[in-house]
Amino acid sequence: MARPTALITGASAGFGLALTRALVQRGWRVIGTGRRAERLARVSEELGVPFVAVPGDVTDPAHRARLAETISDAGELALIVNNASRLGPSPLVRLAEYPLDELELVYRTNVLAPLAVLQLALPLLTPGGSVVNISSDAAVEPYPAWGGYGSSKAALDQLTAILAAEHPELSIYAFDPGDMRTEMHQAAFPGDDISDRPEPDTVVPALLRLLHERPKNARYAATDFAAGRVA
């Protein structure tokens, strides 16, 4: 039986890497992309043939073209996970002082790139396939100094909801994994001890449950599944 294939952006670290490992362990093939080629190469060494590395930046049209070729060669996809994100300035900056060139980069990475990836990948998604766009509680809570990242994730949530309405034959979700012990979260709190945050691999089971149970298209948080509140 052929392995199901997933496309995961931001697969070289954090939640993307934890999810990649979990899927490969469960018999999936994963096409993974990330900006840091050396990290992606280490993932390839660790996971072997089931992992196909396509290093590059998802905001770069030339990289997305290479990604499209790799997906076409692989055949049908069963899952697309837009996980790659940009935090913005570190330390975080209030909106009144936010550098607009940095804000543009945040939106290019967190909103435009996920849509661009889906535009090239949706035609290759299997009937009944799944799409997960990784969100954040900053998309719904007005945390001071989180305006750039939070508003970009709010835009991604709305984009996800509209795509879900336009493609009711697919399972399309926004998924908020919550705070995790990642480089990005550390960059949001430079100098702080974030060791109390959960490791990304402890959050992956909630997303796997989402993919297994396939509830109605909507925005979900990892805590919804951990607490068993999803019908």
**Which residues are 29's β-sheet partners?**
5
Q: Where are the domains of the chain?
A: 5-226
Q: What are phi and psi of 23, to 5 degrees?
A: -70, -45
pLDDT one-digit tens code per residue, 115-172: 999 999 999 999 999 999 999 999 999 999 999 999 999 999 999 999 999 999 999 9
pLDDT one-digit tens code per residue, 175-222: 999 876 666 766 666 777 768 877 889 999 999 999 999 999 999 999
Mean pLDDT of the chain: 92
Question: Is 206 exposed, middle or buried, given 0-12, 13-18 or 19+ CB atoms closer than 10 A?
Answer: buried
**Does residue 98 have an active-site annotation?**
no
* C-alpha dihedral sign at 185, 81, 229, 159: positive
- Could you tell me which residues come within 8 angstroms of residue 86 by beta carbon, excluding any fewer than 6 positions away? 105, 106, 108, 109, 110, 149
pLDDT one-digit tens code per residue, 157-188: 999 999 999 999 999 999 999 876 666 766 66
Alpha helices in 53-201 (DSSP H): 61-74, 100-107, 113-121, 147-166, 183-188
Given the candidates 3.40.50.720, 3.40.50.2300, 3.40.190.10, 2.60.120.10, the CATH classification of the domain at 5-226 is: 3.40.50.720
Identified catalytic residue from 107, 149, 173, 220? 149
pLDDT one-digit tens code per residue, 65-107: 999 999 999 888 999 999 999 999 999 999 999 999 999 999 9
d(CA 223, CA 63): 34
| Residue 184 CB coordination number (10 Å) | 17
